[in-house]
Amino acid sequence: MSSSISLSTKIAGSVLSSCLYNASGPLCSTAEELQAIGKSHAGAILSKSATLQKRQGNEEPRYVDTRWGSINSMGLPNKGYEFYAQFAQTAQAYDKPYFMSVSGLSHEDNLHIIKELANFENIAAIELNLSCPNVPGKPQTGYDFDQSRYILELVCAQAKQPIGVKLPPYFDMPHFEMMAAVLNDFPISFVTCINSIGNGLVIDRDSESVVIKPKHGFGGIGGDFIKPTALANVRKFYTLLDKKISIIGCGGVKNGADAFEHILCGASAVQIGTQFMREGTGCFERVAGELTDLMREKGYQNIESFRGKLRDIT
Ligand code: RRO
């Protein structure tokens, strides 16, 4: 029997035919990479975080894959916001929304970029990155609740496109509540939980050395290891934020079951980072197939049937 199972979802007013797409970061910096996502089964295209000017990023090696995940200290290598804004035109060839990640190096840069983006068509939404852990000397804005409020005031007053926020992982209940109180005061469309867990350290026992060059080896951790933290952040913000703010899950998604868990915690869409870097664009079709099979086994026809319905033990 042919399946009538749908993975479709809606983010920031745009329909995605699949709830699975790329995390900002891996393989989304060049036109070729963005086009490959366009041609794939990904439900949307999301750009690498853009700064005002193009950047080379940090010294290499700056990304290492391990059995359980990844460590990176890329340092925001990107082609500058104008390139990613202009790509919106090209992205129209694909039948899916194009989202742009923005990560200015200062509040002024963010505001400048957001104002300029108002002149561009076909950017379905902006994912404002408040959580890059890898620019030496720049703290993660998402860990400073007053600064987060301040930048959201500036940006939300100027943005033409819908705004979402990429959050760092939080680990303490009061922090979830403090950030949720900030976010609930603004007309944002979504939050993406989570960015990499910042400033981890992976070492090579044989050489007795760190494995990436920038920041004495400290970098953002992604992959298997961060899934429980990602799920906790999705779940907590799902319960604390106004229901008009969608949650996008990101962290530790390798297969359909991982995506299912994110949706069960409340995610309306699920991004793939470390596994996309490993596998390339084929991951979107494979994970979609696995998620569809799991939903069929469980008798769910669409993601709304189980989204957010995680149970407590009674
Ligand atoms: O480019 C990076 O080093 C980077 C960014 Br902007 C980010 O948001 N998260 C991450 O793990 N790396």
**pLDDT tens, residue by residue, 142-178:** 999 999 999 999 999 999 999 999 999 999 999 999 9
At 254-270, the pLDDT tens digits run 999 999 999 999 999 99
Compute the mean pLDDT over every residue in the chain, rounded to the nearest whole number: 97
Q: Distance from the CA of 31 to the center of ligand 1, in angstroms?
A: 19
- What is the amino acid identity at position 148? S
β-pairing verdict for 190-193 and 209-210: unpaired
Fold of 9-305: TIM Barrel (3.20.20)
At 18-64, the pLDDT tens digits run 999 999 999 999 999 999 999 999 999 999 999 999 999 999 999 99
Please tell me whether residue 14 adopts helix, strand or coil conformation: strand
Residue 94 has pLDDT above 60, yes or no: yes
Q: Where are the domains of the chain?
A: 9-305
Helix axes 173-183, 227-240, angle to 10 degrees: 50
β-pairing verdict for 63-66 and 45-46: unpaired
Residues annotated as catalytic are 132
Name residues contacting ligand 1 (CB within 6 A): 25, 49, 72-76, 103, 129, 131-134, 195-196, 220
Tracing tokens 């400033």 back to the chain, one arrives at: 199
Of ligand 1's atoms, which has the minimum distance to the CA of residue 48?
Answer: 6
Of ligand 1's atoms, which has the minimum distance to the CA of residue 196?
Answer: 11
Q: Distance from the CA of 308 to the center of ligand 1, in angstroms?
A: 28
